[in-house]
């Protein structure tokens, strides 16, 4: 399993509408994301338009490639492109960030419980 975090930038004057569009994503887009391996996918939006995305997947490149082959993705990206500062398809403009810390990974590496209920009584 791979954890992926990315950033992009939404136009500050379009934040409310961007939020509104993501409050009711098309069901076929939701299914396409699910079916192509995007899990635990979240988007976070700052007041200045900074968009942070997080997802888990077995293979990010394969998940992205599979999305390009869906019928719904090109339509969704065309609809969303007007909201982004950068030109082009929004899903191609993500800047993926390097993960530098993950609590549970380091707890496991140190031989420590990952949940408080696993502590000896």
Catalytic residue among 22, 95, 102, 115: 22
Residues constituting the chain: 121
Q: Is residue 22 flagged as an active site residue?
A: yes
CA distances for 121 relative to 49, 108, 113, 118, angstroms:
46, 19, 13, 9
Q: What is the DSSP string of 30-82?
A: HHHHHHTT-EEEEEEE-TTSEEEEEEEES-HHHHHHHHHTSSHHHHHHHHHGG
Positions marked active-site: 22
């Amino acid at each position: 399993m791979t954890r992926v975090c990315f950033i992009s930038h939404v136009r500050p004057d379009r934040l409310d509408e961007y939020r509104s569009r993501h409050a009711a994503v098309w069901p076929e887009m939701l299914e396409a994301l699910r079916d192509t391996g995007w899990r635990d996918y979240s988007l976070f939006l700052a007041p200045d338009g900074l968009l942070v995305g997080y997802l888990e997947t077995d293979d990010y490149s394969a998940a992205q490639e599979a999305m390009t082959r869906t019928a719904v993705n090109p339509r969704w990206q065309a609809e969303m492109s007007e909201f982004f500062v950068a030109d082009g398809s929004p899903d191609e403009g993500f800047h993926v960030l390097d993960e530098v810390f993950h609590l549970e990974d380091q707890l496991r590496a140190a031989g420590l419980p990952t949940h408080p209920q696993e502590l000896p009584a």
